Amino acid sequence: MCFPFLLGRHLPSPLHVCDSSISFLENSSSIISHKSGNFSSSFQEYRNGSVDPHDGDPFSFLWTIKRNPPSYLFGTIHVPYTKVWDSIPDNAKQAFAISTQVYFELDLVDPTTVSTLSSCQLLPHGKNLSDVLPGDLYSRLKRHLEYVRGMMPHWMTKDQRGRGLYADYLFNAIAGNWERKRPVWVMLMVNSLTESDVRSRGVPVLDLYLAQEAERLRKKTAAVEKVEEQCLPLNGLNFSQVSFLKIRVPEDYNRGLFVC
């Protein structure tokens, strides 16, 4: 008997599962069905105890796949795990605990995944962001990043400093090599350059925390997506589709705020 555990945005098609499995899907919110040959699985919402859907309690986002033994899916979110861990229902934690195999969106603990993800965000060789963004927008972005760099020491927590982190390191960890990145990735980067996000740096997001726990507990892990499957759709956005271009400077520009 085995209990695979899958974490990610999308299921592969067709879905191949072991005798028993548990899966995590990001932002799962609807009933899903899957058929492969004579095998048919129905996904039904699974809550703590017997919760009436009309009693106002929030959904747990853990789903069962009706088969023998059962399999599971769980919806996640890319935020520091400490912000949501206490709110994750016990049924989801128990499902993870009994799983012997864990399948994630990407193999987050594989250094190759991280390096490939970084490389795919870059513009073609020889091009810089200043070559593809309008001059005034590029200048505003550059000034905003200078503002963020200056604020970083004030945003850092005492705990971060105690762990040996310093402002320039954090800034470079988030915004390093930004001049070479494609606009869509710079947009995502800018959205993460907030005081609350900076103060959470050093705490793994929920997906990564679960991957690290699975590895620590010697569970078999795998991924259902390749980096290219995530990067290529975003890199395929044309210039007008990148909401980064809608950035506008608020009236109180001297504060360095960048609003999307």
Q: Tell me the pLDDT tens digit for each residue of 131-171.
A: 988 888 899 899 999 999 999 999 999 988 888 888 998 89
pLDDT tens digit at each of 260 positions of the chain: 334 445 433 333 223 333 344 555 443 332 232 333 322 333 344 333 333 333 333 567 788 787 777 778 887 788 889 889 998 888 889 889 988 888 888 888 888 888 888 898 999 988 999 998 888 889 989 999 999 999 999 999 998 888 888 899 889 988 989 999 998 889 888 888 889 889 888 888 898 999 999 999 999 888 888 888 888 888 877 655 554 545 443 434 444 444 44
Q: How many CA atoms lie within 13 A of 258 on its CB side?
A: 27
Q: How confident is the model at residue 255, as a pLDDT? A: 46
Give yes or no for a contact between 129 and 178, defined as CB atoms under 8 angstroms apart. yes
> CA 151 to CA 148: how far, in whole Å?
5
Q: How far, in Å, are 53, 148, 150, 200, 257 from residue 141 at the CA level?
A: 46, 11, 14, 23, 10
The amino acid sitting at 255 is R
Q: How far, in Å, are 28, 56, 75, 87, 89 from residue 59 at the CA level?
A: 11, 9, 10, 11, 9
Q: How confident is the model at residue 51, as a pLDDT? A: 32
Cα dihedral 224, 97, 26, 110 sign:
negative
> CA 22 to CA 99: how far, in whole Å?
7
